[in-house]
Structure 1
Amino acid sequence: MTKLVRFGLGALTLGAMSLTLGSGVALADDYAGQSYSDASKAIGDAGQKAVIATSVGDSTDQGDCVVTRSQKADWLKGDNFSPVTDTVLLYLNCNAKLATAGKPGNSLASPEGQAEKAAEEEQAAKDAAAQQSQSSELATPGGNG
């Protein structure tokens, strides 16, 4: 065999091995980013049980904690070692959405912190516009009529 053919077969074999062994399956996490109350309701509506696997922080009420990830329970139960198929484990972040003095949360430098700050600023602008509109209506002679 020539060197070129051997090299080609080696590359082909290496490529096949890397595709077979090296590629993982990416699964979407249906509950990541939701509040615990929303995720547990959705899980219950699907006929399953929500179980808190871990919880980090204590700055928010449990229902407002953010699900950072979830996974199907991977344990066995009972005398016959049946797999658990009706339980979803939730990993919660109960820190504040933005860190402030004395309260842990997302850093303003993080993508999550930047998104929260932008959402807060957008809501503040909407509130200011609504208040301005209401003030203008009250200041207009004759009111709304």
Structure 2
Amino acid sequence: MKKLIVLGAGSAFAVAAASSLLFGAGIASAAPDVVGDTYSDAEQAISDSGGSVVVASRVGDKLDQGDCIVTNAWDASFLRIDSSDDSQVNVALNCNGGHATATNPGSSVQNPLGRASKEEQEAADAEEQELAGPEIPDN
């Protein structure tokens, strides 16, 4: 009885392997890692890798599209009859800004992207203050 079960599982595996060889495994491709980049940088990276970009979702309207932050990128999961472009990459954009403040929407600073944006902004502000130098009062 135990031999019969093992032979059954083995033949099922053989059938699966044979059908994979017969029909092919398909082309494996993956969207480039552009999460956290601006849309313009992500669009350039995707086109450099031979893909085309489609904005699948967009949140907010505070930024121009080129300045929006890419929050997700994935390969298209469907085939188009009228197009031979199989390298389409969908992106989700956050156009609210890098991070949320009291007056502007954006990613939460609890989110890694929002936290990184806030740290970059604080570093830029500190550098700007350092370059401005100390204030000298007029007498």
Q: Deviations over 1:42-96 (max 9, x none)?
A: 11112211011111111111111111111111111227xx885221111111112
Distance in 2 between residues matched to 1:95 and 1:75, nearest whole Å? 29
2:15 aligned residue: none
**What's the TM-score once normalised by structure 2's chain length?**
0.63
1:1-145 correspondence runs (5 A): 30-78=33-81, 84-132=85-133
Distance in 2 between residues matched to 1:67 and 1:43, nearest whole Å? 12
Q: Aligned partner of 2:36: which letter?
A: G
Distance in 2 between residues matched to 1:110 and 1:87, nearest whole Å? 27
C-alpha contact 2:31 2:89 (8 A) present in aligned 1: no
Number of paired residues? Answer: 107
Structure 1 consecutive aligned stretches of length 4 or more whose deviation exceeds 6 Å: none
Distance in 2 between residues matched to 1:100 and 1:51, nearest whole Å? 29
Distance in 1 between residues matched to 2:86 and 2:31, nearest whole Å? 18
C-alpha contact 2:38 2:68 (8 A) present in aligned 1: yes
2:12 aligned residue: none
C-alpha contact 1:52 1:92 (8 A) present in aligned 2: yes
Q: State the structure with more CA Rg.
A: 1
Q: Aligned partner of 1:31: which letter?
A: V
C-alpha contact 1:74 1:83 (8 A) present in aligned 2: no
Distance in 1 between residues matched to 2:85 and 2:78, nearest whole Å? 6
Among the aligned pairs, what percent are the same residue? 41
Change beyond 3 A, Cα 1:42–1:111: closer
C-alpha contact 2:31 2:75 (8 A) present in aligned 1: no
Distance in 2 between residues matched to 1:28 and 1:49, nearest whole Å? 10
Distance in 1 between residues matched to 2:90 and 2:133, nearest whole Å? 46
Structure 2 unpaired stretches of 5+: 1-29
**What's the TM-score once normalised by structure 1's chain length?**
0.61
Distance in 2 between residues matched to 1:73 and 1:83, nearest whole Å? 13
Change beyond 3 A, Cα 1:89–1:76: same
Distance in 2 between residues matched to 1:31 and 1:51, nearest whole Å? 14
